[in-house]
Chain A
Amino acid sequence: EAGVAQSPRYKIIEKRQSVAFWCNPISGHATLYWYQQILGQGPKLLIQFQNNGVVDDSQLPKDRFSAERLKGVDSTLKIQPAKLEDSAVYLCASMAGRELYNEQFFGPGTRLTVL
């Protein structure tokens, strides 16, 4: 089966510009996660979707970050406007269901550099 797809793989922008990332989870996976991984740190959860509803967005900087998952499949994460500290790898992951202890499958990530 195809894995989690993300695009673009790399993005360089200047501060105050806008950027959007796309994620296509594994087919049939109900749960989708967006993580931010700053260099040298572990992934930090930004937002979690269950189908097309938000389960947790408590760590999403809502003044500049937004995410949606229309139709409960693909998802986009947007940053507007970007700051220097947003430079990180943005990881998307999906999971089959809501049963406990399912494995998350990660995409390759999008490496964002804000200049």
Chain B
Amino acid sequence: AQKITQTQPGMFVQEKEAVTLDCTYDTSDPSYGLFWYKQPSSGEMIFLIYQGSYDQQNATEGRYSLNFQKARKSANLVISASQLGDSAMYFCAMEGNTGNQFYFGTGTSLTVIP
């Protein structure tokens, strides 16, 4: 069974500082994809970054990077130089290779403090 775990219900970070949001996963699929989404208070889900299980390098997208540790089954999101607009819910998700099914974690609420 697929499972995504986000153990931080809420996080605070000072503006311009970096923050790491934790995500661990469990799967028996040999190949899979890991995603991070941002959900502001307005409700839309915004794709941030993707990491494939066979990718050798950690994914980066602007201020977002994914710290992928396959042996530990973790896929932590690092946001550098936090901005006030980064305040939102952040969801880690996994796509298995059996039917494009997505599994989401419970989310982490990030608050950026001026």
- Identify which of A56, A103, A106, A108 contacts B99 (C-beta below 8 A): A56
Which residues A12-64 have CB closer than 8 A to chain B? 31, 33, 35, 40-45, 48, 50, 55-56
Of B11-19, B40-48, B76-84, the stretch lying at the interface with chain A is B40-48
Of listed B97, B100, B105, residue having the most chain A CB within 10 A = B100
Chain A residues near B47: list those with CB within 8 A.
103-105
Known contacts A42-B107, A89-B43, A109-B43: does B50 contact A103 (CB below 8 Å)?
A: yes
Report Cα–Cα, A78/B102, bound state, in Å: 22
Residue of B nearest to A95 (CB): B100
Chain A interface size, as a band, is 20 to 34
B91, A43: Cβ atoms under 8 Å? yes
Distance (Å) between the CB of A86 and the closest chain B CB?
Answer: 17
Which residues B11-53 have CB closer than 8 A to chain A? 31, 33, 35, 37, 43-45, 47, 50, 52
Of listed A48, A56, A100, A108, residue having the most chain B CB within 10 A = A100
Contact with A along B70-114 (1 / 0, CB 8 A): 000000000000000000000101010101111111110000000
Chain A residues near B43: list those with CB within 8 A.
89, 108-109, 111
Q: A interface, by DSSP: helix, strand, loop or mixed?
A: strand
Residue of A nearest to B92 (CB): A42
B91, A56: Cβ atoms under 8 Å? no
Query: Would you list 30 pairs from A and B whose C-beta atoms are within 8 A, ordered by A residue?
Result: A31-B100, A33-B102, A40-B106, A40-B107, A41-B106, A41-B107, A42-B91, A42-B104, A42-B106, A42-B107, A43-B45, A44-B104, A48-B101, A50-B100, A55-B99, A55-B101, A93-B45, A100-B31, A100-B33, A100-B52, A100-B95, A100-B97, A101-B33, A101-B95, A104-B45, A104-B47, A106-B37, A106-B44, A108-B43, A108-B44
| Residues of B in contact with A (beta carbons under 8 Å apart) | 4, 6, 31, 33, 35, 37, 43-45, 47, 50, 52, 91, 93, 95, 97, 99-107
